[in-house]
Amino acid sequence: MNPFSSYNSKKYKAEGRGRPSMDWEEGAFDNGEDNADDYYEGHSNSHRYWIISLFTVTVFFFLFARIFFLQVIKTSYYKVLAEGNHIRSQAILAPRGIIYDSQDEALVQNIPNFELDLSKIDLPKDYTTEVQNLSSLFKVDPSVIENAIKAVPTNTYQEYTVIPSLDKNAVVVFESKINDFPGFSVENDPVRQYVDPDIFAHPIGYTGKINADELLKNPDYLLNDYIGKSGLESSYEKYLRGTNGQHQTEVDASGNMQADLGDVQPQPGNNLYLNIDAGLQRFLYQDIIAKNGNKKAAAVAVDPRTGQILALVSVPGFNSNLFSAGISQQDYSKLANDPAQPLFNRVISGIYPPGSTIKPVVASAALQENVISPTAKIDDNGDLVVGAFHFHGWKAGGLGMMDMRTAIAMSSDIYFYTVGGGQTKLGIAGLGITKIAKYYALFGMGQKLGIDVPGESAGLIGSPEERAQRLSDPAAQKWYLGDTYHESIGQGDMEVTPLQDAMWIATVANGGTLYQPYVVDKVVGQNGNVILQNKPTVIRSGFIDPKNIAVVQEGMRQTVTSGTATALKSLPVTSAGKTGTAQFDSAVPGSTHAWFVAYAPYENPQIVIDVLIEAGGEGNAAAEPVVKDALNWWAQNRYLKNTKAGETPVENSPVKNN
């Protein structure tokens, strides 16, 4: 690739007038008078001679010292400077590394793109006509070109991108009239082309031209460089970015090209290999839309054995290709002002009340703290009365006698009010808000889990301390028993991301280990060498006794066999799950988010799939069908095929996160 297919240099001209100077001796003697007396003439001339002699010696001394300094001491510096004045080096932008999914499918490629670049040092003093002609040729407002010219420092040889994407027909016209546009050139640089951009936009992200703020943070970048703006393109920028090449030319004192000195070829960036399964990602995205229309939604799939992210879906997506070659202001405004917020990554940045998907965590904590035994029964009559207050369950009339397993399977609110906040008449003290907050944190809530996609939210665990910090009104700071009840069933002050929801269910599925989630499996150089190998990282483990986790697992299995998610019984693989319906607007009782999360196979969990449909209604009606379909796809296309072929064990061994 030769970025100098259309190269121009400024022709420098200089003119000036000589200014005659009078010799100092003439100035000294012209004003003398012929009739001066001998005394004055003798003494005055002698005195003047010594002054002049001393001045002359001093001047010559300083001239000699300056010449010595320039010719001897600074010779290397000025040699390099002289070389720079006649050797012009301009960058050839390097292609970025390719991003592959877990099945080695390329999710991005580099394609050629014509852009109009400016070499300001070669621009004539009067460029008004140029700007008008370029504006007409490339159909842009003249202010676009004028603002670009003003933005570039005067004393740089670097090229600056004026128009990031050009029509090929206009490029042909430009090249035919190249001499009319000194200081401007058309370059052919590689830009990103994303496969199924709407589906993969949020995990992969996009690139764009570097801006002024980014240049300050990355001084080794060029004025016309590209940089990762979001997603993995941003967080793995140092690996994906290649090494720019150079095209060198020899120019004369006026900046005119004298010789082409050849190219130093650019080196492409390193390649990323993801844990994301593109097939599963596509299926989840398309199935969410097919079943829920234009509702906002999120889905995440994770391997509970490692923390590897197998899918990360945020709906709606957006066309990330719009950003690659420079998005128009009109297109950006349309995306930024869309009420559906397509640029927002709901999986890692969205925070929501989790509803009943929190109950496996409360159950684990209650068993660990000996609040209740697995077989102790609580009568769910649909209404827990505390003084003058009524706390209702989701089913009018109640669910009947519940033990730990059936309470999880049937999602009994009355049971979890009791084990969370207590019930005096039954002699159950409950966990209390302090212990609830403690275990929520142990399972990964209220903190960033460290996923390698930027933009993760920490969420919120409600507690008296947190409320006191957040609210200034003493009356609003007060914590009530009802607040504890609400938080015991995933309502109230608490807010979590879909990623956190999936990771605490993964912790239950794998027997009590919370892993750090990660999207990238490895980074591989162009020579095939593995530069970075990400491995499973344990955030914490051992905080729940395995026998207690086993009870919770059995309750989630009963959710499928006899509880609120029996539709999953028809899957070709065993599974366990949990429904969730979370109210998000107290002024509108029917406004609820729909959650469903499940893992499979039940006996040896290898995948957790978590789906949230914003304002989707009941979890088992809106989210559960998507999870069921996705698990079926995974079982048919991955699990059963791998089992027949002889499944290989997980190669990466966990490492402790200190």
Q: For residue range 404-414, what is the model confidence (pLDDT) as tens digits?
A: 999 999 999 99
Q: Of 328, 487, 475, 321, which is closest to residue 413 (Cα–Cα)? A: 487
Question: Confidence band (pLDDT; 50, 70, 90) for 378?
Answer: very high
Quick one: 241 and 316 in the same domain? no
Instruction: Tell me what percent of the residues of the chain surpass a pLDDT of 70.
Output: 84
Quick one: 326 and 194 in the same domain? no
Write down the pLDDT at residue 50: 76
CATH of the domain at 227: 3.90.1310.10
Per-residue pLDDT tens for 39-65? 445 555 666 777 777 777 777 777 766
Please report where in the chains the tokens 């001239």 appear, as a residue.
63
Q: How far apart are the first and last CA of the chain?
A: 47
Asked if residue 366 belongs to a domain, the reply is yes
Quick one: 267 and 315 in the same domain? no
Chosen domain end from 244, 272, 300? 272
Three-state SS annotation for 315-335: ECCCCCHHHHCCCCHHHHHHH
Q: Of 328, 96, 89, which is closest to residue 190 (Cα–Cα)? A: 96
Domain of 130 in residue numbering reads as: 89-272
Position 484 pLDDT exceeds 50: yes
Question: Confidence band (pLDDT; 50, 70, 90) for 81?
Answer: very low
Please report where in the chains the tokens 């933009």 appear, as a residue.
455
Asked if residue 38 belongs to a domain, the reply is no
Amino acid occupying residue 576: A
Asked if residue 28 belongs to a domain, the reply is no
CA–CA gap between residue 521 and residue 507 (Å, rounded): 20
Quick one: 127 and 260 in the same domain? yes
pLDDT (average), residues 636-654: 69
Chosen domain end from 205, 238, 272? 272
Q: Report the interhelical angle of 481-488 vs 432-442 (nearest 10°).
A: 30
Quick one: 368 and 482 in the same domain? yes
Burial of 141: CB neighbours in 10 Å, binned 0-12, 13-18, 19+: exposed
Quick one: 186 and 306 in the same domain? no
| pTM of the shown model | 0.83
CA–CA gap between residue 341 and residue 300 (Å, rounded): 18
CA–CA gap between residue 467 and residue 475 (Å, rounded): 11
CA–CA gap between residue 226 and residue 96 (Å, rounded): 9
Three-state SS annotation for 534-567: CCCEEEEECCCCHHHHHHHHHHHHHHHHCCCCHH
Position 579 pLDDT exceeds 90: yes
Position 181 pLDDT exceeds 80: yes
Asked if residue 227 belongs to a domain, the reply is yes
Asked if residue 648 belongs to a domain, the reply is yes
Write down the pLDDT at residue 562: 97
Mean pLDDT of the chain: 87
Position 72 pLDDT exceeds 80: no
Asked if residue 3 belongs to a domain, the reply is no
Amino acid occupying residue 603: E
Number of structural domains (the chain) is 2
Quick one: 262 and 303 in the same domain? no
Question: How many angstroms from the chain centroid is the CA of residue 99?
Answer: 15
Chosen domain end from 252, 272, 292? 272
Instruction: Tell me what percent of the residues of the chain surpass a pLDDT of 90.
Output: 69
CB atoms within 10 A of CB 289: 17
Helices (H) and strands (E) in the chain, counts: 25, 24
pLDDT (average), residues 351-378: 97
Quick one: 304 and 437 in the same domain? yes
CATH of the domain at 395: 3.40.710.10
Write down the pLDDT at residue 217: 93
Question: Confidence band (pLDDT; 50, 70, 90) for 250?
Answer: confident
Looking at per-residue pLDDT, the higher value among 81 and 588 belongs to 588
Contacts with 464 (C-beta within 8 Å, 6 or more apart), sequence order: 433, 477, 479
Asked if residue 442 belongs to a domain, the reply is yes
* Alpha helices, DSSP H, located in 152-192: 168-176
Cis peptide bond prior to 3, omega within 30° of 0? no
Quick one: 263 and 295 in the same domain? no
Asked if residue 56 belongs to a domain, the reply is no
What phi and psi values does residue 393 have, to the nearest 5 degrees? -85, 175
Write down the pLDDT at residue 432: 97
Quick one: 340 and 236 in the same domain? no
Lowest mean pLDDT of 258-267, 426-435, 534-543, name the range: 258-267
To the query of whether residue 373 is one of the catalytic residues in this protein, the response is no
Quick one: 219 and 325 in the same domain? no
Position 418 pLDDT exceeds 60: yes
Q: Which of 356, 364, 411, 412 is catalytic?
A: 356
Per DSSP, what are the bridge partners of residue 92?
A: 245
Quick one: 241 and 303 in the same domain? no
